[in-house]
Amino acid sequence: MAGTRAAIRYAKAVLDLAKTQDTAQAVNEDMVVIAKAIDESQDLSNMLQSAVIKSVDKKAALLKVFPDANPMFSGLLDVLVSNKRVSILGNIATIYTELYEKSQNVVTANVTTAVPLTEDLKTKVLAKVKELTNAKNIEVKNIVDETIIGGFILRVGDIQYNASISNQLNKLKKEFTLN
């Protein structure tokens, strides 16, 4: 991604400032909303990436789209406008959330299943993640992907456990083609 290193620096700076002002959680809530909005709205994303639209106009539009955002958001926009970096706002918001969760010892477990997780299965996943990571705060994100046929794929950080039916079928296919 273009501007990722810069986005990391901005996100770290905002997190440090938010921690000193004891507003890190409130800023994180705003950053989650901002990242989601930019990710889901092609128009908003296009506006941020546009070289034709002036940075001050982008700032004005963003302040209208996110009127209830923490005052630190306005300050971040001021810095991004002056440095001509408004286009990386989505990256900054995403990275801020990752850094905030890491500072709070929150581990995100992505579970891909063919059908939505039940509460019973979610409890089992939480237990497995606690066993693998020794983390206390775990957030489970369920991704539904019917192509895995059944079972699940658990991804926590750089650890992946693939217990999907499609994976097992692929392993069998490879065994039969090699012999």
In the sheet where 151-156 sits, what is the strand order?
137-144, 106-113, 151-156, 159-164
pLDDT digits (tens, 9 = 90+) for 27-52: 999 999 999 999 999 999 999 999 99
Please report, for the chain, the start and end positions of each structural domain, with discontinuous segments joined by +.
Answer: 4-102, 107-178
Q: What is the pLDDT of residue 175?
A: 87
The pLDDT tens digits of the residues spanning 140-162 come to 889 999 999 888 888 887 788 88
Residue in this structure with the two tokens 């005052």, named with its chain if needed: 71
Q: Are 125 and 111 contacting, i.e. CB atoms less than 8 angstroms apart?
A: yes
CB 90 within 8 A of CB 34: yes
The whole-number pLDDT of residue 57 equals: 93
CATH of 4-102, one of 3.40.50.150, 3.40.50.300, 1.10.520.20, 3.40.50.261: 1.10.520.20
Q: In angstroms, rounded to a whole number, what is the distance separating the alpha carbons of residues 152 and 68?
A: 38
The answer on pLDDT for 70 being more than 80 is yes
User: Can you give the pLDDT at residue 1?
Assistant: 47
Nearest residue to 36 via CA among 77, 93, 74: 93
Fill in the amino acid letter for 116.
P
State the Cα–Cα distance between residues 28 and 69, nearest whole angstrom.
10
Beta bridge partners of 155: 110, 160
pLDDT tens across 86-145, in order? 999 999 999 999 899 888 888 888 899 889 988 888 888 888 788 877 777 888 889 999
Note the pLDDT of residue 54: 92
